[in-house]
Structure 1
């Protein structure tokens, strides 16, 4: 089955295709921990609670579980085990049901409060813990956090994104306005490496010079370190030290894609990204303005300097229209992303109007044929 994003109250379907030469039955499960998973149907695929679940199975090629009127209580991973008369048995992969929501919102109105969860980060400095953390200045929308050299914010281990279906690690959008004077990490966290020393759960959203960059890591699959992917934009889409504000946004979805946007416009993308086996809870707090040292995860790798405003975390990848809306709401600038009769947009302002007609009319009856008599 495939990961599904839904609004609360929608019916959500998971489909598993298979091949069986004798009648097969599908037993559906709601994943808990691999040991105590909730069985949703009997051995013949009949739901125990038909008010919440419906199952279809043609017995030879396809079975469908529908979660009825889905709510956050249904937010989990689902899978099935298919068995036929010859006692053959096959377990499908797991896929998540995610109820779309804004997980966290930090407007930086003279504090580090997350308006969604009523929690707050702590402003700090490294290496001198006696120095203050980030200050506050006028931003792109009200007030904004201002990071000087060594400044960072610890949001705590319960901050998003974090492990758990619908909590932002398997799929997410991070979006923040920045006014950088020095490039560096914007938002990041990494757990300790596993016993093999080959990495573990983590993410890093940063500016590598003028280029946005995102990396997402999960837990090993079959003992091998697994990375969802690393993506970095080309060119110089973000100015450094130009006193301008830029909306930098990233989206990702395990097994599907990673994307980067600047001022609402896509600047990099990749498909076919990895699907980590799982994500572990945070050992240390999520950081703003820093990441965590690979040699010692308790030590922040500071470096970013400049402004940060209106940070938002969603548990699903916003599409290009939703990201353009985020940009428009603050900047008042509409982006040219809708389809229109662009071949008649002679002045390139993303609309066809009288100015284009005047340009067209000015060339009325001009002729490029030779000889000139051929135009008559």
Structure 2
């Protein structure tokens, strides 16, 4: 009797589960136009796609500390600089100026409610040693107040250096802080980021994409929500004349995301501005010899010329290692 051997073949199907994409809740490049005493805010939503700052949402462009009304100049100044790190042309000059959200209590509650579980706040900063020792880059925080949530800031270490410092006000009534291990230099651009992941109860800070410090908070803890304290960039919330935590220096590309994102998703490396830059970063096409981001007859013309004329080692104007 002929036996039939059935061979069972097990197919392992590897399902690739894409990482959850963070939703951008706020993103300011400071390229926006200024109309009167307000600047249009980004259109952003919470996780349920409920609007937080819609098209009508604006920022208060309050005058300098000590000037409550009738001032000739806004706090927000978009400045041309010789080099802005993330590809934009303008940045916020926060020496004496700041931005404060001008939205409803419901919108503020939606914003802080969306960040109470997990979030990432990141920015490019260039700090100057002047003013308060503790300065706010961005946050929902009123020093001395009770309706606080979190802030991202800098703390003076000595006349030449500072630390990246953050506090989180949590649902258990505690206020937790974390700062980076390495002192940073004034008058130098850095990308800084703070991530909070409620699933792991971990808060972590990054400088230029490198993790600098982290802390594990009590399990199950969440951040406090607030419908009172506004979101600010460049200083803490509070009375406009107290100047609490006024940032001195430049701030650019502030982005708030609703998840604890990984370094590759952060705004660290600006998008390439030219085909040459694409090639310099090692992502160009191998046969794109004239760096125009395409392989065409122009490139083959270069190959043909080298084939016909490049016969002497070291000859200029030839393809490298052609012979």
Q: Tell me whether the two structures share a fold, i.e. TM-score over 0.5.
A: yes
Once the two structures are TM-superposed, the CA of residue 155 in structure 1 deviates from its matched residue by: 1.7
Q: How does 1:135-214 map to 2 (within 5 A)?
A: 135-138=77-80, 139-140=84-85, 141-149=88-96, 151-157=97-103, 158=107, 162-164=111-113, 167-182=114-129, 184-190=135-141, 199-209=146-156, 210-214=162-166
Aligned-residue offset at 1:147: 1.4
**CA–CA separation in structure 1 for the residues paired with 2:102 and 2:224:** 17
Shift of 1:203: 1.0
1:253 equivalent in structure 2: 197
Cα distance in 2 for partners of 1:299, 1:133 equals 14
RMSD: 3.5
By relative contact order (CA 8 Å, sep 6+), the higher-ranking structure is: 2
**Shift in alpha-carbon separation, 1:156–1:182, aligned structure 2, 3 A:** farther
SS in 1 for 2:170: strand
Higher strand share: 1
* TM-score in terms of structure 1 length: 0.51
SS at match of 1:177: strand
1:22-61 aligned within 5 A: none
Determine whether 1:317 maps to 2:260. Answer: yes
Where do 1:236-275 residues align within 5 Å? 236-237=183-184, 239-240=185-186, 242=187, 244-254=188-198, 256-273=201-218, 275=220
Distance 1:274-1:292 versus aligned 2 partners, 3 A rule:
farther
Q: Equivalents in 2 of 1:292, 1:234: separation in Å?
A: 27
Hey, what does 1:123 align to over in structure 2?
61
What is the match of residue 373 of structure 1? Answer: none
- Separation (CA, whole Å) in 1 of partners of 2:76 and 2:168: 26
Q: Which secondary structure does the structure 1 equivalent of 2:115 belong to?
A: coil
Equivalence for 1:38: none
Counterpart residue number, 2:8: none
Conservation of the 8 A alpha-carbon contact between 2:155 and 2:164: yes
Q: Residues 201 and 276 (structure 1 numbering): CA distance in 2 closer, same or farther, change over 3 Å?
A: farther
Deviations 1:303-332 (A, max 9, x none): 211111111110000113323xx2123588
- Could you tell me whether the CA contact under 8 Å between 2:116 and 2:224 is conserved in 1? yes
1:226 has 2:174 as partner: yes
In structure 2, relative to structure 1, the CA distance for the partners of 1:233 and 1:133 (3 Å cut) is: same
Q: Which residue is equivalent to 1:114?
A: 41
Secondary structure of 1:327's match? Answer: coil
Which SS does the other structure have where 1:311 is aligned? strand
Figure out how many residues of one structure are paired with residues of the other and give that number. 222
Gaps of 5+ in 2: 1-16, 34-38, 45-54, 157-161, 282-323
Distance 2:93 2:264 in 1: 29
CA distance in 2, matches of 1:256, 1:276: 7
Instruction: Supply the distance in 2 between the matched residues of 1:253 and 1:109 (Cα, whole angstroms).
Output: 30
Runs of 4+ more than 6 Å apart: 331-335
Normalization by structure 2: what TM-score?
Answer: 0.59
Secondary structure of 1:103 counterpart: strand
Q: Specify whether residues 280 and 322 from structure 1 end up closer, same or farther in structure 2 by C-alpha distance, changes over 3 A only.
A: closer
SS at match of 1:211: strand
